[in-house]
């Protein structure tokens, strides 16, 4: 049976040795209460909850799935009880404003806890995970009355939240949505339409579900400029603020899916349901991006989660499974064969998972620091953090989920035929991971957003907000001979990143299809370079600790070894991506549609 052990040593390495979270919190107004002792205690308690409560339910959720009965959904055994423990522990309120019942701690600390719960049991973690996006949307765009009515209940965990965007005829292209919002005499709206693929849209874990819904007003203009945002609760609040009368919103069915069986993916029907406008009319998409950006970073975390979970279990298996002898002679002569971890190709699969898990952790925690700055800092610091976050969010979401899926497949491969058998949990990890590249915008959509909107439409200024950070790091470390193996290649790639952007931009001036043709390769290239920056920084942090004779020397030497593996075995993938992204749109667009399968 697969197991999960919270990687506390690596988490503290990233927080303390790499990113200096204690200094970060002290520098931000409102974050001073997050002292090192408090942060450590919270993380350790979160680790216990993840390991002891959530991880044992992971396979249960996959095997049982959710049960649908006449509009009601029953979650797998233990899910509801685990959620009650989660609420009683105060976890939903951790990083939300004290004014609305939160504990007022930084978002970045909440991200660490989310990693623990997500890796232990992704399907379960989606129920409270969707609520955080709903909370952020209400906190930023809701009225005080809406916050008092809905936000306080979401923050406490008494109620959960969803986001309702997709419709049967439209996915990413929200300009096509048809859900209607008719004004009522009392200032509310009657919401009518059908939404699909709604994660946690119906369940038995909380008393009420607050749906955040996109719909059109009667006089709305066509396209994305005519979309408004609404609160539509499953139960209308009564005079005391509790869940009261049932609203005209129902679950029509739940999907039968490849993975994440423990989370209900619902078809939601709104039949004149009472809803309340959030934000200005026809500006719903702008407001919804608060939710979407939260969800995209949360999905980036899924890539890390499946890498970490697969690594832990496949490493255990590789140490125990006996198969053949090492090529240089028996490594364990007292045994009938050697453990498969002695074989180079097995080690490559394990090191690839390790490089992506630990590199991904550094990237996500860095992004969470930027989120803190956008909420608590002022002036240039806040503006720069917001710009960097705009660039790094699509990279984190798409790149980390792509390599997370690669890692999950490596974990299965380490097991050989046993990986294909459900009892070991590897095939579940692959199935659960596959959705991460699809929801919250596919890899292809994220790539268009990155290259087209974030980089080219800003004439490269958004890209420079991060490449300047990389340049300054390489420049400051260029005199250190122990780091040249990292800073030399990184500095060269950082310059090339800007040059490639310019070349694609020039080609796109003649043919706009060049952006779409290059976008995914450009995003993956960007991801490899971004992770190289964090691995170079981790190598530096490890060398400083070794030079000072502090901490676990074996741990820091492993960091250096993994950094070298990343630079020598993974980073060279960028060479092929340069060739393909510059090869042009013609090799994709010339073939007539009717010739894909000639008759």
Q: Is 144 exposed, middle or buried (0-12, 13-18, 19+ CB in 10 A)?
A: exposed
> Which of the four pLDDT bands, split at 50, 70 and 90, describes residue 599?
confident
The two counts, helices (H) then strands (E), for the chain are 20, 11
Q: Please, what is the end-to-end C-alpha distance for the chain in angstroms?
A: 50
- Point out which residues pair with 216 in neighbouring strands: 180
| pTM for the predicted model, two decimal places | 0.97
Cα(287)–Cα(137) distance, integer angstroms: 7
Q: How far apart are CA 79 and CA 189, in angstroms?
A: 34
Residue found under tokens 């070349």: 503
pLDDT digits (tens, 9 = 90+) for 562-581: 999 999 999 999 999 999 99
- How many of the other CB atoms lie within 10 Å of CB of 574? 21
Q: What is the pLDDT of residue 271?
A: 98
For every residue of 129-180, DSSP letters joined together read: HHHHHHHHHHHHHS-HHHIIIIIHHHHHTSEEEEEE--BTTBSS-GGG---E
Distance CA 242, CA 159 (A): 10
CA 197 to chain centre: 18
In Å, what is the CA distance from 256 to each residue of 169, 261, 321, 334? 19, 8, 35, 49
Strand partners, 181: 191
pLDDT one-digit tens code per residue, 433-458: 999 999 989 999 999 999 999 999 99
Domain boundary assignment for the chain? 288-440, 450-587
Percent residues over pLDDT 70 in the chain: 99
Whether residue 440 lies in the annotated active site: yes
The closest of 204, 244, 251, 237 to 83, measured between CA atoms, is: 204
Torsion sign across C-alpha atoms 546, 550, 551, 552: positive
Burial class (CB in 10 A: 0-12, 13-18, 19+), 257: middle
Contact call for residues 334 and 322 (beta carbons, < 8 A): no
Nearest C-alpha neighbor of 463 from the set 526, 382, 536, 381: 526
* Contact present, 366 and 297 (Cβ < 8 Å): no
Computed from CA positions of residues 100, 105, 106, 111, in that sequence, does the dihedral angle turn out positive or negative?
Answer: negative
DSSP letter assigned to residue 304 = H
Question: Catalytic: which of 139, 308, 427, 440?
Answer: 440
| Strand-strand pairing, 265-278 and 228-233 | antiparallel
pLDDT value at residue 288: 78
Choosing among 3.30.70.100, 3.40.1380.20, 3.40.630.30, 1.20.140.10, the CATH entry for 288-440 is 1.20.140.10
Q: What is the mean pLDDT of residues 184-198?
A: 97
Flag whether pLDDT at 258 surpasses 80. yes
For residue 357 the two structure tokens come to: 């898990």
Structure-token match 């004014």, residue found: 99
> Measured between alpha carbons, how far is 32 from 35 in angstroms, rounded to an integer?
7
Tokens 């916050």 locate to: 147
Model pLDDT for residues 194-222, shown as the tens digit of each residue: 999 999 999 999 999 999 999 999 999 98
Q: What is the pLDDT of residue 197?
A: 96
Tally Cβ neighbours within 10 Å of residue 146: 16
* Long-range pairs of 70-78 with CB within 8 A, sequence gap ≥ 24: 71/202, 71/250, 71/251, 71/252, 72/202, 72/204, 72/251, 73/202, 73/203, 73/204, 73/251, 73/254, 73/264, 73/266, 74/204, 75/127, 75/203, 75/204, 75/205, 75/262, 75/264, 76/261, 76/262
Name the token pair of 221: 């203009």
- Cα(391)–Cα(367) distance, integer angstroms: 10
Quick one: pLDDT at residue 479?
A: 86
Which pLDDT belongs to residue 483? Answer: 96
Q: To which residue do tokens 């109620």 refer?
A: 159
Contact 245, 236 (CB under 8 A): yes
pLDDT bracket for residue 291 (50, 70, 90): low
The CA-atom distances, in angstroms, between 395 and each of 28, 299, 563, 591 are: 26, 11, 20, 30
What is the pLDDT of the chain when averaged over all its residues?
95
For residue 27, count other CB atoms closer than 10 A to its CB: 15
- Summarize pLDDT for 161-174 with one digit per residue, the tens: 999 999 998 867 67
Burial of 485 (0-12, 13-18, 19+ CB in 10 A): middle
Distance between alpha carbon 204 and the CA centroid of its chain, in Å?
25
Q: What is the mean pLDDT of residues 79-104?
A: 96
Nearest 5°: phi and psi at 195?
Answer: -115, 145
Whole-angstrom CA distances from 159 to 91, 96, 113, 463 are 13, 15, 20, 39
Quick: pLDDT tens for 506-517: 999 999 999 999
- Residue 532 pLDDT exceeds 70: yes
Alpha-carbon distance of 214 to 282, in angstroms, equals 10
Using DSSP's 3-state secondary structure scheme, residue 554 falls into helix
Opening angle at CA 469, ends 463 and 474, nearest 5 = 120
Give the pLDDT band of residue 94 (cuts 50, 70, 90).
very high
């Amino acid at each position: 049976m697969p197991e999960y052990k919270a990687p506390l040593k690596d988490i503290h390495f990233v927080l303390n040795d790499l990113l200096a979270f204690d200094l970060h919190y002290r520098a931000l107004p409102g974050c001073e209460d997050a002292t090192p002792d408090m942060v450590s205690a919270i993380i350790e308690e979160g680790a216990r909850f993840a390991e002891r409560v959530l991880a044992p339910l992971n396979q249960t959720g996959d095997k049982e799935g959710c049960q649908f009965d006449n509009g009601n959904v029953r979650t797998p055994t233990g899910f509801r009880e685990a959620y009650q423990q989660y609420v009683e522990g105060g976890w939903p309120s951790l990083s939300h404003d004290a004014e609305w019942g939160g504990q007022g701690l930084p978002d970045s600390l909440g991200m660490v806890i989310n990693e623990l719960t997500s890796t232990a049991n992704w399907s379960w973690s989606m129920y409270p995970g969707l609520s955080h996006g709903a909370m952020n949307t209400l906190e930023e765009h809701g009225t005080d009355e809406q916050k008092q009515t809905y936000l306080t209940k979401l923050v406490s965990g008494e109620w959960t939240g969803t986001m309702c965007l997709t419709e049967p005829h439209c996915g990413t292209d929200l300009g096509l949505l048809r859900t209607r919002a008719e004004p009522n005499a009392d200032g509310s709206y009657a919401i009518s339409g059908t939404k699909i693929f709604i994660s946690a849209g119906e369940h038995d874990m909380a008393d009420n579900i607050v749906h955040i819904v996109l719909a059109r007003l009667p006089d709305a203009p066509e396209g994305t400029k005519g979309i408004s945002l609404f609160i539509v609760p499953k139960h209308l609040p009564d005079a005391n603020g509790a869940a009261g009368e049932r609203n005209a919103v129902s679950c029509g069915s739940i999907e039968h899916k490849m993975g994440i069986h423990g989370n209900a993916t619902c078809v939601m029907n709104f039949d004149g349901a009472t809803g309340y406008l959030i934000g200005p009319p026809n500006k719903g998409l702008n407001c919804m991006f608060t939710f979407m950006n939260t969800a995209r970073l949360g999905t980036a975390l899924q890539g890390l989660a499946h890498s970490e979970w697969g690594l832990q279990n496949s490493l255990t298996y590789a140490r125990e499974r006996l198969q053949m002898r090492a090529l240089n002679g028996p490594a364990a002569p007292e045994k009938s064969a050697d453990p498969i971890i002695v074989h180079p190709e097995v080690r490559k699969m394990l090191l690839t998972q390790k490089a992506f898990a630990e590199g991904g952790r550094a990237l996500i925690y860095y992004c969470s620091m930027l989120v803190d700055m956008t909420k608590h800092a002022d002036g240039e610091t806040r503006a720069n953090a917001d710009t960097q976050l705009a660039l790094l969010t699509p990279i984190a979401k798409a790149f980390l989920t792509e390599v997370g899926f690669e890692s999950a497949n490596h974990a299965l491969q380490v097991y050989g035929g046993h990986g294909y058998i459900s009892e070991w949990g590897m095939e579940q990890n692959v199935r659960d991971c596959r959705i991460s590249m699809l929801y919250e915008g596919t890899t292809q959509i994220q790539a268009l957003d990155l290259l087209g909107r974030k980089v080219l439409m800003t004439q490269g200024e958004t890209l420079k907000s991060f490449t300047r950070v990389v340049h300054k790091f390489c420049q400051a470390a260029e005199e250190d001979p122990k780091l040249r193996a990292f800073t030399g290649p990184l500095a060269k790639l950082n310059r090339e990143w800007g040059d490639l952007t310019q070349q694609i931009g020039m080609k796109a001036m003649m043919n706009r299809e060049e952006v779409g043709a290059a976008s995914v390769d450009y995003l993956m290239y960007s991801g490899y370079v971004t992770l190289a920056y964090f691995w170079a920084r981790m190598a530096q942090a490890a060398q400083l600790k070794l030079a000072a004779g502090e901490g676990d020397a074996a741990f820091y030497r492993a960091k250096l070894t993994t950094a070298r593996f990343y630079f020598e075995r993974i980073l060279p993938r960028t060479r092929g991506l340069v060739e393909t992204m510059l090869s042009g749109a013609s090799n994709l667009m010339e073939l007539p549609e009717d010739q894909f399968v000639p008759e």
